[in-house]
Chains A and B, each alone.
Chain A
């Protein structure tokens, strides 16, 4: 056949573009036949009604109802495997199948392994020790600062930071890893590598690809669909030796990553937060459930079996607030509150409080966002 001019990777790439062929079905399909012949079966509707069970599907065979096979057949007609493959080659996308000898071992042996991986950057940069830093998209200043600091110090210690390039904690972690000359950062995303999401992280995405590697199990053109983000989290979990959840509400994707990591026997650590802060409800729950607490990056290194350099708590560099500034700072709890609450607690006038807060912000004691004030702990300011 003429079509065999293109490699196996090209047929699997085309298969992975068919809506409805997710990671699990793709794995089961590939266990049953050669990629090129599978593609022909999908296109002419000659797939069997049921695929035999294989090792990775845990005993049950994969049923393929007529409607599903029809749906695939119609979708496949819009895909030209050869042109689609060339688009990947031209875009400089790396592609690797699960059975390739250089496929990351932790992923290849995973129960829920991706059948194919796409990447931007250098796949060899996966080689070192890896720690995931994950958390909520709606992060507090505290969470952002902690994620950023941990990522910097882990990178400097030669540990690659794995995260999802999402808003909030993920982005802060990658920004921290890129801020130093350290281990290469690793990102796992939930869309095709040409679909930058969120768009606000366009330059961060590019920087990770330049200095590290951006991985995806979705081919070019796949948009960011909601279910693909939890699916992406399992790859983050599988790739990481330790998962650190920095900040999470009581529900959220980061908790999903923690569950996926625990299921795979990875160490899950959580950063404690105020018990009154909704942004730390999930991480505090993880601690209650038995995850190890993280006080500083030394605790993470210890979990990796390394000898941590115990850091002395840095001497306070910030100018000590006096007078009204001290009164205002003392009135702030360790979670964000609206300015109006500062007024009612201190009994001071708005204008004065705003002036004092501006000074405290300049000195690195507080952070202001959209009318909310949050206190900053040691070493938070940059």
Chain B
């Protein structure tokens, strides 16, 4: 149903592991295969998946040390959201409680029209590469259209070595860095700043971060 549109899952942490895991196949292949009795149907399912959830069951885990969850509750949360599913999200953003001072006194925000313009321009660049958006860039098209500066590839290598980034995650970060550059209207090889920003937009959720003790 969400083909060509947006699928938004609120309170994603409350869905069952089975339901969430069944999203992996359509996310990868862009189609849903249904088998009912003798019939097999293939439905197109290329959609933008957005999930929202609390950082942990008690919801206080946005601030480290404020979380009141038991280890068991956290473990359940972890089990539900499998690593492979989370790995397929391009952007994973921590949303913090806004500082009241910022809400009241912060400077004027950019108008949505300006932002929309920027997004439109970025999308045009993707179309010039033959795709609707950068997420659809094949590996070879990505490497061809978006070379990395030496510093940028060094940063990716360091992240891979430290285990912060998986091989699948690496391509995703690269594509996000491409999009960040597109939004800036930046031409040329992607810089370490672009990659660093993309890496930050792939935060490990607090409930996944294990004990600091090895």
A333 within 8 A of B: no
Selected interface stretch from A65-73, A123-131, A369-377:
A369-377
Residues on B with beta carbons closer than 8 Å to the beta carbon of A371 = 94, 200, 203
Alpha-carbon separation in the docked complex, A148 to B66 (Å): 22
Residues on A with beta carbons closer than 8 Å to the beta carbon of B212 = 139, 141, 144, 168, 172, 369
Say whether B65 contacts A338, CB under 8 Å: no
Which residues of B are interface residues toward A (Cβ below 8 A)? 63-67, 70-71, 94, 96, 99, 102, 155, 158, 180, 191-197, 199-200, 203-206, 208-214
Contact of A167 among B71, B96, B99 (CB under 8 A): B71
Identify the closest chain B residue to A247 (Cβ). Answer: B65
Say whether A349 contacts B71, CB under 8 Å: no
Contact of A351 among B191, B206, B209 (CB under 8 A): B191
Say whether B63 contacts A370, CB under 8 Å: no
Size band of the interface chain A makes with B: 35 or more
Alpha-carbon separation in the docked complex, A45 to B213 (Å): 49
Provide the A305-346 mask, 1 if CB < 8 A to any CB of B, else 0. Answer: 000000000000000000000000000000010111100100
Secondary structure at the B interface, as helix, strand, loop or mixed, is: loop
Say whether B155 contacts A278, CB under 8 Å: no
Provide the A203-217 mask, 1 if CB < 8 A to any CB of B, else 0. Answer: 010000000000000
A171 within 8 A of B: yes
Say whether B200 contacts A138, CB under 8 Å: no
A136 within 8 A of B: yes
Residues on B with beta carbons closer than 8 Å to the beta carbon of A275 = none
Q: Considering the complex of A and B, which 3 residue pairs feature the smallest CB-CB distances, nearest first? A: A351-B193, A279-B65, A354-B196
Alpha-carbon separation in the docked complex, A352 to B196 (Å): 8
Say whether A370 contacts B94, CB under 8 Å: yes
Given A198-B71, A351-B191, A372-B64, A171:B200 Cβ within 8 A: no
How far apart are A227's CB and chain B's nearest CB, in angstroms? Answer: 13
Alpha-carbon separation in the docked complex, A268 to B11 (Å): 43
Say whether A336 contacts B211, CB under 8 Å: no
Say whether B155 contacts A355, CB under 8 Å: yes
Given A355-B192, A370-B203, A175:B213 Cβ within 8 A: yes
Could you list 9 further interchain pairs (A-B, Cβ under 8 angstroms) beyond the known A249-B66, A336-B65?
A: A167-B211, A175-B214, A278-B65, A349-B193, A351-B197, A355-B193, A370-B203, A370-B206, A371-B94
Given A198-B71, A279-B65, A369:B197 Cβ within 8 A: no
Say whether B65 contacts A136, CB under 8 Å: yes
A64 within 8 A of B: no
How far apart are B208's CB and chain A's nearest CB, in angstroms? Answer: 8
